[in-house]
Amino acid sequence: MDVKIEPSWKKALAEEFEKPYFKELAEFVKKEYKSGAVYPPPKLLFNAFNLCPFDKVRVVILGQDPYHGRGQAHGLCFSVPEGEKMPPSLQNIYKEINADLGLPIPKSGNLEHWARQGVLLLNTTLTVRAGIPASHFGNGWEQFTDAVIKKLSDEKEGLVFLLWGRHAKEKGKVIDRNKHLVLEAAHPSPFSAASGFFGCRHFSKTNDYLVSRGENPIQWTPEG
């Protein structure tokens, strides 16, 4: 089927888009958008892929499902558009970057500048009903995002996967840890950040690994 997604991803996932489960998923999502408010807006559904082409991916961060409040979700996990109030998990991510690298905490919660540097900000489930978290779990998105992770693991080398929380760690089972760096920690949510996310130093560890491979480090904030 003709999926509107960045060309290198379209080629990489061509077989996936033809599978029966994906066609059923596409029908489900289409009906959901027609029946009420669903986030993110349809044009931003594959935003993570469109801003970070397959051949540019260097780091993968896994989220769960999109923010379910109006105006928050724009297709990148943990990120919100310019001008939106910063969610608590993202505040904690910025606190850890500040503690790890000494960089100032940004005023914007928009992480598009990460995506443009090769950070794939991938939610496990790419859509959600307004006001109902996890409402689109179990309809095929999980199978699709497993395939995305496996494709990256199989066809690329030297990626960094940041798996925060039990859910992300479960998704990480398809990653070849002999070829890639996998860093695990607690989820940055206020309920769990103090149980192992704070102090994980994943941002400096990611950059150290990239530099050791002769690559540019990620600029985690606009300041550095």
Q: How confident is the model at residue 2 (pLDDT cuts 50, 70, 90)?
A: confident
pTM over 0.85? The answer is yes
Residue 224 pLDDT greater than 70, yes or no: no
Give me the amino acid identity at 89. S
129: enclosing H helix or E strand:
strand 128-129
Helix, strand, or coil (residue 160)? strand
The catalytic residue among 65, 100, 146, 176 is 65
Q: How confident is the model at residue 23 (pLDDT cuts 50, 70, 90)?
A: very high
Q: What gap in Å lies between CA 145 and CA 125, rounded to an integer?
A: 8
Res 222: pLDDT: 82
What's the average model confidence in pLDDT over 80-90? 96
Residue of 25, 2, 16, 94 whose CA lies nearest to 54: 16
Residue 1 pLDDT greater than 80, yes or no: no
Helix, strand, or coil (residue 185)? strand
Helix, strand, or coil (residue 45)? coil
Quote the tokens at residue 5: 């997604």
Q: What is the CA radius of gyration of the chain?
A: 17
Quote the tokens at residue 175: 């990653």
In the sheet that 59-63 helps form, which strands lie side by side, from edge to edge?
119-123, 59-63, 160-164, 181-185
Quote the tokens at residue 207: 């950059």
Per DSSP, the residues of 85-125 read PPPHHHHHHHHHHHHHH-PPPPS----HHHHTTTEEEEESS
65 is catalytic: yes
Q: Are 106 and 94 in contact (CB under 8 A)?
A: yes
Quote the tokens at residue 61: 């961060």
